[in-house]
Structure 1
Amino acid sequence: MFGFLDRFGGKKRKAARARKQELSGDLDGAVQSYLDAELPDEAARTLLLKADGEPDPKERMVLCAQAARVGPGSEHGRQAKQRQAMLAFDLIKTTQGATMQGELLRIASDLEGVGRWEAAAEAYVLAGDTEAEIRVLKEAGAIERLEERLRQTSEKARAERDRTQLLRRMRDLDAIAERRVALKNAREWLARQPDEHVQLQVDQILNRLIAGPIVTLQIDGEEARYVLGSRITIGRAGADIQAHCSSVSRQHLRLERKAGQPQIEDLDTRNGSTLAGARIRGALPIGQGVQLELAGQVSVRAAPAKADEPNGPVALEVAGQRYILPLGPLAIDPWRLVDAHDGDERFVVLRTPEPCEPPHMAGYRLAYEIELCRGDRLCARRGGPVVLAVPDNQAASDRR
Structure 2
Amino acid sequence: MTITPLENWILERTQLASKSQDALRAYQLEKIIQTLAYAKEKSRFYHERLKAVDLGAITSLKDFERIAFTTPAEMKQNSLDFACVPSSGIERIVTLNTSGTTGDEKRIFFTHEDLEATIDFFQYGMKCLVDQSDTVMVLLPGPAYGSIGDLLHKALAKSGISCIVHGVLSDVKKTAQCIEKNHITCIVGIPMQVLYLSRVKPELFYRHITKVLLSTDYVPDALVEALSFKGTCKVFNHYGMTEMGYGGGVECACLDGYHLRENDLYFEIIDPISGKPVQDGEYGEVVFTTLNRQAMPLIRYKTGDRARFLTKPCGCGTFLRRMEKVLGRMENSVCIQGHEIHLRALDEILLQFDSILDYTLRVEENDTLHVKLMLANKERSVALKEEIIRRIREHFSFEFTLRIDAQEDDRSPKVIHSMIKRKLHDNRQGATV
Bin of the TM-score, shorter chain as denominator length: under 0.3
Q: Report the structure, 1 or 2, having the larger helix content.
A: 1
Tell me the TM-score normalized by structure 1: 0.23
Q: Using CA pairs below 8 Å that are at least 6 residues apart, which structure has the higher relative contact order?
A: 2
Tell me the TM-score normalized by structure 2: 0.22
Quick check: which has more Rg, 1 or 2? 1
